[in-house]
Amino acid sequence: VSVLRAEDDDGTLEDLDSFRHRARAYIRANLRPMAAEEMRWDRFGGSEELELAAIARDRELQRQLFDAGFAGLCFPREYGGQGLTPAHQRVFNEEIAGYEYPSRVQCPTLVPCAAVILEFGTEEQKRQHLPAILRGEELWMQFLSEPSGGSDVAGALTTAVRDGDQWVLNGSKVWTTGAWWSDWGLCLARTNWDVPKHRGLTVFMLPIHQSGIEVHRIEMLNGSREFCQEFITDVVVPDSDRVGDVDDGWTVGTRWMFHERMLFSSPYLTNPVGTTHGRMHSRDVYDIACAQGRTDDPSMRDLVGEARMLELVSNEVAKHVTESIRTGRLSDQAAAIVRLFKGTATARIMDLAYEAAGADGAAWTGDGASSQGAINWIMRAGGTVGGGTIEMARNVIAERVLSMPRERTLDRDVPFRDVPRGRPSGS
């Protein structure tokens, strides 16, 4: 593989056409054509072996891209990236569509974790981790949510106590996808309990596989075990692994969540054109109608049509809202509209599939279309809770898009220590 420089010696960037040709030639010669379906996260059927093999393959692919000069297109060259522009990443996303790519290195490793390190890391941290990430050697996880509260991220209870040049961490994090096969965690922890909640947080980086961290895999209602919970006990983190200033973790956290929200439009992410994220299952309803030989039944047609309708509108609403934000028609918080729309539409489509399945929603044979009716329905809240509940989205829409009065909170301007965190004892 010949490694071509994306930047000439005089510092001018490679033009998009030349880049496209180079990327196309490389991709066609070196990567396997592969349908998006084959790269889905949930295709392992519970086999750890298959999942680990897929992770190993992704690390290998990432390394291959790195060696060929196609990893981290928008990361600076001094940290192993290519120093190119978002336009180059878009071209790459077009060219790699339909081919195998390291999908499990993208989120959360590159976005938001690597993006946060790039923005807030020290020179030493960036040199240690960014090239390793771009070579596929480090997979990262977000140690953000906690069992004590999902939506209230700044209410983190995981505590870091300073001890000379190091910190001692205790607490628990949850909803990390695949922490059991990842290497590093970006962790939001409380360093000061005597100030209001947003002002006592600090961000740390820590290796996941060490004696003080116990990784527990969570079984979900559909049998999936992709999520994990970590129990952190007396884990020592050197101060040199702190990201951002002490007690200024919310500055980092705000940008962290910005990168997370940006995800699919982030220039740091390889996101092949045409990739669908978050399956809507509208097709399941039609497949069930076919399996039952009821495509001519008007009541079945009603279910099939409604599911398809919701998917068509849902796909367009994201583009429409993005354009509305760009032109100032809606506030930049309007992304919550898309979240609410997709959440409710996905849930409704699952209702329709469950309805279409009829008695097969109670018991079924084989793994045909009808089997999805009840399995997905049991896990229906995945789409209305995961990634931020639709109730939070409704608050954001009302308060930040429509400028309605904010909900009263009891945790502002008081030391976090004094904020009620549970039902008072004895009541």
Part in contact with other proteins (CB under 8 A); list of ranges 91-99, 135-143, 312-320, 410-418: 312-320
Distances (CA, A) of 296 to 282, 293, 343: 18, 8, 29
Radius of gyration of the chain (CA): 23
Among 124, 214, 323, 332, binds other proteins (CB under 8 A): 323
* Parallel/antiparallel/unpaired status of strands 242-243 and 201-207: antiparallel
How far apart are the C-alpha atoms of 385 and 155, rounded to whole Å?
A: 18
Site for other proteins contains 319 (CB under 8 A): yes
Measured N-to-C along each axis, helices 298-326 and 335-357 cross at an angle, to the nearest 10 degrees, of 170
Site for other proteins contains 294 (CB under 8 A): no
Site for other proteins contains 159 (CB under 8 A): no
Site for other proteins contains 414 (CB under 8 A): no
Among 119, 152, 247, 399, binds other proteins (CB under 8 A): 399
How far apart are the C-alpha atoms of 18 and 348, rounded to whole Å?
A: 46
Among 286, 354, 377, 416, binds other proteins (CB under 8 A): 286
Residue 212 or 305: the one with the smaller Cβ distance to other proteins is 305
Site for other proteins contains 424 (CB under 8 A): no
Sequence-separated (6 or more) residues with CB below 8 Å from residue 241: 125, 204, 205, 206
Question: What DSSP designation does 176 have?
Answer: E
Site for other proteins contains 404 (CB under 8 A): yes
Give the three-state DSSP class for 280: coil
Q: Which residues pair with 238 in a beta bridge?
A: 166
Among 1, 236, 309, 414, binds other proteins (CB under 8 A): 309
Q: How far is the CB of 351 from other proteins (least distance, A)?
A: 14
Cβ 239 vs Cβ 395: under 8 Å: no
Site for other proteins contains 194 (CB under 8 A): no
Among 245, 316, 332, 367, binds other proteins (CB under 8 A): 316
Q: How far is the CB of 298 from other proteins (least distance, A)?
A: 6
Quick one: which H or E segment has residue 187? strand 184-190
How far apart are the C-alpha atoms of 46 and 418, rounded to whole Å?
A: 44
Residues numbered 336-375 forming contacts with other proteins, rule: CB under 8 A: 336-337, 340-341, 344
The position carrying tokens 């990361």 is: 75
Q: How far is the CB of 113 from other proteins (least distance, A)?
A: 30
Among 391, 417, 418, 421, binds other proteins (CB under 8 A): 391
Tokens at 214, concatenated: 């116990």
Among 174, 188, 304, 357, binds other proteins (CB under 8 A): 304
Q: How far is the CB of 128 from other proteins (least distance, A)?
A: 43
How far apart are the C-alpha atoms of 109 and 126, rounded to whole Å?
A: 14
The contact set with other proteins (CB under 8 A) reads 286, 289-290, 295, 298, 300-302, 304-306, 308-310, 312-314, 316-317, 319-321, 323-324, 327-330, 334, 336-337, 340-341, 344, 391, 393-395, 397-399, 401-402, 404-405, 407
